[in-house]
Amino acid sequence: MKRILVIQPLRPEGLEIFDARKDVAYKVVTDSSEKNLLVNAADADAIAVRTAVITKRVLDAAPRLKVISRHGVGYDNIPVSACTARGIAVTVVGGVNAISVAEHTWFLILAAARSGVELDTATRRGDFGIRERVTGLELSGRNLLIIGFGRVGKQVAARARAFGMNISVFDPYLQGELPKDVRLFASLEGALREADVVTLHTPLTDETRALLCERELWLLPKGAILVNASRGGVVDEAALLAAVRSGHLHGAGLDTFEMEPLPSDSPLLSEPRIVLSPHAAAMTETSLVAMSVMTAKNALAGLDGTLDPELVVNPSVLKMAP
């Protein structure tokens, strides 16, 4: 019997995939503390995990572990190097949440462009005069820079065409040909200098950590907008806040943060020109069901030896399989 530890619940549609396998037993745990995981991981052949942190100690406590199936596309909560050393595959769900994340990205772009927080707050207190004091930014004809042109970035670009924006991309790891209406920049500095709106769609790695700090933010034209729906550590939050408060940036939208949950004393909370959401870009029912199903499928594929290399973060482990 193969055993799967499900850390944080999946949607029923995902669990039904496990139920259909007579050679599989699974346990769902809601307490994701390291202490509890150390106890429950001991007999796990596979782990399905959402946002909980998998520590090296948890790996060491799971000698049978063959695969960690991540419910999402980010994997900074998993010690990938340690997994690779053990021959443990780490998988992500691929493009099943790309549309939800792209749509949420546009929610942030539009809310930042039209000063949505300020207008909403003022209207609720009866201050219709806000319309004379706060003006929005029209997007048509402006330059959109997409940093990271993967599954989500491509969906963002598709929607940018409807707004009549000029689309550019910075992605050192880009594979395949670009659409003819997309301009590729070889230099991040050059791309930032021409961007009216910047949106980030990159994992958090050693190379992307603090990718945009004070210097990069001030390369942007005055009145630009920055949106981050990827990972919080990619942007220096203090530098972003200063750039917005100085008036250099028109506004920003953040769905991810350096520390999550966002601390109650974070200065970001007091800046109305920065639209905030609680790492919720993928949180639509359609996306959650699709991610749960793919998470379950990846866990089983890891046990069966049928993993899709495109969904494996550390594909070198596939060559290590017996």
d(CA 46, CA 69): 8
Judged against a pLDDT cut of 70, whether residue 29 lies above it is answered with yes
b/e sequence 157-178, b meaning 16+ C-beta within 10 Å = bebbeebebbbbbbbeeeeeeb
pLDDT of residue 177: 87
Q: What sign for the dihedral angle of Cα 29, 31, 32, 36?
A: negative
pLDDT of amino acid 322 = 56
Quote the pLDDT of residue 32: 96
Q: Cα-atom radius of gyration of the chain, to the nearest Å?
A: 21
Looking at residue 321, its pLDDT comes to 58
**50 with 278: CB under 8 angstroms?**
no
Residue 239 has pLDDT above 60, yes or no: yes
Average of per-residue pLDDT across 212-226 = 98
Per-residue model confidence (pLDDT) at position 176: 83
Say if CB 105 and CB 86 are below 8 A apart.
Answer: no
Domains, the chain, ranges and CATH? Answer: 2-96+285-320 (3.40.50.720), 98-276 (3.40.50.720)
The whole-number pLDDT of residue 83 equals: 98
Percent of the residues in the chain that have a pLDDT greater than 70, as a whole number? 99
CA distance 20 to 125: 54
30-56 pLDDT, tens digit each: 999 999 999 999 999 999 999 999 999
Average pLDDT (159-182) is 95
Mean pLDDT, the chain, whole residue set? 96
Query: Which pLDDT score, from 0 to 100, does residue 30 have?
Result: 97
Instruction: Determine what percent of the chain is predicted with pLDDT higher than 90.
Output: 96
Mean pLDDT, residues 16-21 = 97
User: What pLDDT sits at residue 273?
Assistant: 98
Determine the Cα–Cα distance for residues 307 and 179; give it in Å rounded to an integer.
30
Residue 5 has pLDDT above 60, yes or no: yes
Query: Would the CA dihedral through 223, 228, 233, 237 be positive or negative?
Result: positive
* Confidence at 319, pLDDT banded by 50, 70, 90: confident
**Nearest-CA neighbor of 112 among 82, 138, 92, 89?**
138
Instruction: Quote the distance between the C-alpha of residue 201 and its chain's center.
Output: 7
Between the alpha carbon of residue 93 and those of residues 81, 267, 293, 298, 308, the distances in Å are 19, 34, 9, 8, 11
Q: Which residues are catalytic?
A: 231, 260, 279
What pLDDT digit, counting tens, does each position of 84-117 carry? 999 999 999 999 999 999 999 999 999 999 999 9
What is the pLDDT at residue 160? 98
> C-alpha angle 282/285/286, rounded to 5°?
80
User: Measured in whole angstroms, how far is the alpha carbon of residue 308 from the centre of its chain?
Assistant: 21
Give 262's Cβ-side CA count (13 Å radius): 17
Describe the strand order of the beta sheet including 224-228 as a list of residue ranges: 182-184, 166-170, 143-147, 197-200, 224-228, 249-254, 274-276
Rounded distance between C-alpha atoms, residue 81 and residue 314, angstroms: 8
| pLDDT at residue number 175 | 82
